[in-house]
């Protein structure tokens, strides 16, 4: 039985950065996060895909022990074209083709319904709610989103978020959703939606974890060159849900560790284009960098 | 004998933030940093001031054990008028009156010349060089600057920096000085100037310490409301130089502690207007918050 299950997109991405470019590369929120999760557990993907999704992309995901039973293939695949300039923190979109994403109406496979750990990656909040309804008795649900949904479906998004145990947003989105420049206030307001954890991703500045009685600040890993930041947020999230599913421990203490594993895998991801760097990543490298994180903040 | 000695400005500030405003309040880089340093040691100020500097401001500084022997009074005091909007990270300047700062030609008092710890706070780099020449055998020199000097006196500033042991810049200034979006690259280039430590201040995101073989990331303290960020960077720096002077230990390990003391005092400073919050601050409160910093990054 796959656990965690991950709802999101499968993408074919054209990406250009100051370090080079790739075309029709494997991407999408469910892809990055399930690969990251697969270092700890056996995730299952819920996502629309196109008939044109290359077979070797599917084979690679299967080779990582990822279930594709929840992938619905129809028509052409979702495509994203984007680039990064001088400031690698911000992706610029050239073009988005929704294709198979446009009318995705998820029916999750029987064997996914008993999953205990669920990650609702960035996608229409109505789809996030629909998927969550089909999971029988989830133990821990984490939800992500983006500025697009905050703008056009704010109320639906808040409804979806209030059904989760953890909300994940990047700093710009958190400020935007709660109309405040203060990340501390935004974090508290995320908690006020009734969730146990609020996580704010800050790119090179690391991340913040808020819970009722505590506050945790994880540093960013000091990368001299970010080759391609695409998917860093999703691999961060995937590692978190994968590690929680593996350890079956959602305490605040274990959540801190999960977040550092998330930062670790996200930093490797950003050192290569598409999912390339995750292909050769090993648990040994992950554990080594995880330990480096301890020294980064030690005083 | 005062140690550390601190070169900088004494200001009369009009500041407005979303939380209120103050007029002709005590400010300036040497003031914030010497007050912060005074929690650990007995600093001496080198700065120009005006005849109109209120006596109770001087009395307050003296009451903190700060030497004002290096203060030269002449004409009218330096004045800064500024405000902060929604985004409290950026000060907007309405008006600057240089006054006594315009033709400041520092001759440091005899008893300052044997100081071992020196902080050259933000001021014209030519003045920074002039002051440093008068110190007989400094053990540790830290230097700060700002975008204004990077723009108009870049070469002189690089010369001044190369004479120091530690360079301190905020993230925008570091990116600007070395024309790179990467803080890691900027930090390395600061070290390439021949200094032992490079420190990058990131406001609410904390700070980074670079040295040849190590990297330290200090978290920001989670303040729900920043009342007035004026002087946060200077009180951060002052606490560092004050703590180093007290402990006489410039090892990387002790530098990390110094930085966390800096973050601690800067966070208290930002919770009130002008130097108001520093007036009632105690070592007990400082030690308590210093310990909280350990928990912030613990996993």
Q: How far apart are CA A57 and CA A60, in angstroms?
A: 5
Yes or no, beta carbons of A223 and B181 under 8 Å apart: no
- Domain A5-296, CATH class in plain words: alpha beta
B298–chain A nearest CA distance, Å:
7
Instruction: Report the pLDDT value the prediction gives residue A101, as an integer from 0 to 100.
Output: 87
Q: Which residue of B has its CA nearest to A226?
A: B182
Instruction: Report the pLDDT value the prediction gives residue B131, as an integer from 0 to 100.
Output: 98
Which of A87, A246, A99 lies closest to A172, judged by CA? Answer: A87
Task: Kindly report the average pLDDT of chain B as a whole number.
Answer: 95
B59 CB contacts (<8 Å, ≥6 apart)? none
Q: Where are the beta strands (DSSP E) in B18-66?
A: 20-27, 44-49
Q: Which residue of B has its CA nearest to A18?
A: B181
Tokens of B41: 């040691």
Instruction: Report the pLDDT value the prediction gives residue A183, as an integer from 0 to 100.
Output: 93
Query: Taking the domains of chain A in order of start, what are their residue ranges?
Result: 5-296
Q: How far apart are CA A99 and CA A50, in angstroms?
A: 8
Q: Which residues of B112-132 are buried (b: 16+ CB within 10 A; e: fewer)?
A: beebbbbbbbbbbbebbbbbb
Helix axes A252-269, A283-296, angle to 10 degrees: 110
A142–chain B nearest CA distance, Å:
20
Partner-chain residue, chosen from B204, B224, B299, that has the shortest CB–CB distance to A256: B299
- Residues in chain B closer than 8 A to A202 (CB atoms): 205
A100–chain B nearest CA distance, Å:
37
Instruction: Report the pLDDT value the prediction gives residue B178, as an integer from 0 to 100.
Output: 94
Yes or no, beta carbons of B299 and A259 under 8 Å apart: yes
Yes or no, beta carbons of A297 and B219 under 8 Å apart: yes
Q: Which residues pair with B26 in a beta bridge?
A: B12
Yes or no, beta carbons of A299 and B204 under 8 Å apart: no
Yes or no, beta carbons of B259 and A299 under 8 Å apart: yes
Q: Which residue of A has its CA nearest to B179?
A: A86
B81 CB contacts (<8 Å, ≥6 apart)? B13, B14, B15, B93, B94, B95, B96
DSSP secondary structure letters along B157-219: HHHHHHTSSEEEEEHHHHHHHHT-S-HHHHHHHHHHTT-SEEEEE-GGG-EEEEETTEEEEEP
Tell me the residues of A at the B interface, defined by beta carbons under 8 Å apart: 86-89, 181-185, 188, 202, 204-206, 208, 214-220, 222-226, 253, 256-257, 259-260, 293-299
- Indicate if the pLDDT at residue B118 is higher than 80: yes
DSSP secondary structure letters along A265-296: HHHHHTTSSTTHHHHT--HHHHHHHHHHHHHH
**Best residue of A18, A217, A229, A239 to probe chain B, by most B CBs closer than 10 Å:** A217
- Residues in chain B closer than 8 A to A297 (CB atoms): 216-219, 297
Partner-chain residue, chosen from A202, A215, A226, that has the shortest CB–CB distance to B296: A215
Q: How far apart are CA A205 and CA B272, in angstroms?
A: 26
- Residues in chain B closer than 8 A to A253 (CB atoms): 299
Instruction: Report the pLDDT value the prediction gives residue A91, as an integer from 0 to 100.
Output: 86
Pairing verdict, β B79-83 and B67-73: unpaired
Partner-chain residue, chosen from B188, B217, B296, that has the shortest CB–CB distance to A296: B217
Partner-chain residue, chosen from B88, B215, B225, that has the shortest CB–CB distance to A222: B215
Q: Which residue of B has its CA nearest to A87?
A: B181
Pairing verdict, β B214-218 and B207-211: antiparallel
Helix (H) or strand (E) holding A94: strand A92-97
B256–chain A nearest CA distance, Å:
6
Given a cut of 70, the residues of chain A with pLDDT beneath it are none
Q: Which residue of A has its CA nearest to B260?
A: A299
Instruction: Report the pLDDT value the prediction gives residue B163, as an integer from 0 to 100.
Output: 98
Q: Give the side-chain half-sphere CA count within 13 A for A69.
A: 15
Report yes or no: A190 and A180 within 8 Å, Cβ to Cβ: no
What is the pLDDT confidence band of residue B181, given thresholds at 50, 70 and 90?
confident
State what percent of residues in chain B have pLDDT above 70.
100
B287–chain A nearest CA distance, Å:
14
The Cα-based distances of A15 to A26, A148, A224, B99, B223 in angstroms read 11, 20, 20, 53, 38
B83 CB contacts (<8 Å, ≥6 apart)? B15, B16, B17, B91, B92, B94
| CB–CB contacts below 8 A, A to B | 84
Partner-chain residue, chosen from B226, B259, B296, that has the shortest CB–CB distance to A217: B296
A287 CB contacts (<8 Å, ≥6 apart)? none
Q: How many residues does chain A have?
A: 299
Q: Give the side-chain half-sphere CA count within 13 A for B107.
A: 2
Report yes or no: B208 and B215 within 8 Å, Cβ to Cβ: yes
Instruction: Report the pLDDT value the prediction gives residue B268, as an integer from 0 to 100.
Output: 97
- Indicate if the pLDDT at residue B264 is higher than 80: yes
- Residues in chain A closer than 8 A to B175 (CB atoms): none
- Indicate if the pLDDT at residue B90 is higher than 90: no
Tokens of B105: 């030609």
- Indicate if the pLDDT at residue B88 is higher than 80: no
- Indicate if the pLDDT at residue B91 is higher than 90: no
Yes or no, beta carbons of B217 and A215 under 8 Å apart: no
């Amino acid at each position: 039985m796959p656990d965690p299950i991950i709802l999101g997109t499968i993408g074919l991405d054209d990406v250009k950065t100051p370090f080079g470019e790739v075309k029709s590369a494997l991407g999408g929120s469910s892809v990055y996060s399930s690969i990251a999760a697969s270092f700890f557990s056996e995730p299952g993907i819920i996502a629309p895909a196109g008939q044109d999704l290359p077979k070797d992309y599917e084979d690679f995901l299967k080779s990582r022990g990822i279930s594709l039973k929840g992938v619905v293939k129809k028509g052409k695949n979702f495509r994203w074209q984007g680039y990064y300039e001088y400031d690698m923190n911000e992706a610029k979109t050239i073009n988005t083709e929704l294709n198979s994403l446009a009318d995705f109406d998820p029916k999750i496979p029987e064997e996914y319904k008993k999953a205990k750990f669920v990650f609702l990656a960035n996608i229409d909040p109505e789809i996030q709610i629909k998927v969550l309804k089909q999971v029988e008795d989830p133990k821990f649900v984490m939800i992500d989103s983006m500025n697009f949904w905050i703008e056009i479906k704010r109320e639906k998004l808040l409804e979806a978020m209030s059904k989760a145990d953890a909300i994940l947003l990047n700093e710009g989105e958190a400020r935007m959703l709660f109309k405040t420049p203060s990340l501390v206030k935004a974090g508290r307001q995320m908690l006020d939606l009734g969730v146990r954890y609020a996580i704010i991703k800050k790119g090179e500045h690391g991340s913040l974890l808020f819970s009722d009685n505590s506050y945790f600040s994880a540093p960013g890993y000091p990368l001299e060159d970010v080759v391609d930041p695409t998917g860093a947020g999703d691999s961060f999230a995937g590692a978190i849900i994968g590690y929680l599913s593996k350890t079956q421990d959602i305490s605040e203490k274990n959540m801190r560790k999960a977040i550092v594993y998330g930062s670790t895998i996200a930093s490797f991801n950003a050192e290569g284009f598409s999912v390339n760097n995750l292909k050769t990543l090993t648990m040994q490298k992950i554990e080594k960098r995880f330990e480096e994180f301890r020294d980064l903040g030690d005083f």
